[in-house]
Structure 1
Amino acid sequence: MKIIAIAIVAAGLASAAGAASAAVSDAEFLKANRCKGLADSGVASVDTASMDAFIKGERRARSPFALERGKVEYEKGKRDGKSVSADRRERLAAELTGPCQAYSATAARGG
């Protein structure tokens, strides 16, 4: 039983060391994936090429857990973007054309 506990702790330390050396935090990586999902849902017209490049570049330094969580965030963003509420769609469009701009080079206003 002690061997399993030691292995789990060692794996945790190894993933923490990998995350520490990453250019951005896992939280930023997850946010970028959510933004990509919003963009792909059609909430607003946004150029996703730089977002794709950012995510692809950051993917190399992520643990398997962060990669899987990124997929979940992408799908959640995509689902949220298809919301039928006009008010919610406006808030999501503001998120996409606001904070998400850190991961995207250009955004077309409107749409």
Structure 2
Amino acid sequence: MRLATLTLAAVTLMTAGSALAAGSVTDVDYLKASRCRGIAGVTAPDTTDLDAWLKAASKTRDSSVLAKGANTQDAARREAKTTNPERKARLAAELSGPCQAFKG
């Protein structure tokens, strides 16, 4: 009985912690993730994680932030279509570095 109570308490705390983390997403994080999605849309074969993150984060965003996110994503998509090898390397590093925070 005591083990079941402790297990239930641990599960409740983990759930509350993940809900708190999801609620603390800033508009800046949303815009960064939008940029990552724009880059990944051109260079990465699978964007499922980013799409799910953006969908969850968009529920609490103001319409102006959503519009800015769409513009940021479009600009990043255009930038990712470059033929410049140095820019491609920089975008690949961004996608494999900071953008990993928005996956899973």
TM-score range, shorter chain: 0.7 to 0.9
TM-score (norm 2): 0.74
TM-score by length of 1: 0.70
Q: Do residues 32 (structure 1) and 30 (structure 2) align?
A: no
**Runs of 4+ residues over 6 Å off in structure 1:** none
Q: Which has the larger radius of gyration?
A: 2
Specify the code of the residue in structure 2 equivalent to 1:76: A
Higher helix share: 2
Q: Which residue of 2 aligns with 1:99?
A: 98
Give the whole-Å Cα distance in 2 for the aligned partners of 1:30 and 1:46.
21
Structure 2: which amino acid aligns with 1:25? T
Shift, 1:46, TM fit: 5.5
RMSD, aligned CA: 1.2
Superposition deviation, residue 58 in structure 1 = 0.6
Residue identity matched to 2:36: C
Q: Percent identity?
A: 38
**Aligned partners of 2:36 and 2:56: how far apart in 1?**
16
Determine if the alignment matches structure 1 residue 68 to structure 2 residue 44: no
User: For residue 60 of structure 2, what is the amino acid of its counterpart?
Assistant: A
User: CA offset at residue 47 of structure 1?
Assistant: 3.2
Question: Paired residue for 1:53?
Answer: 52
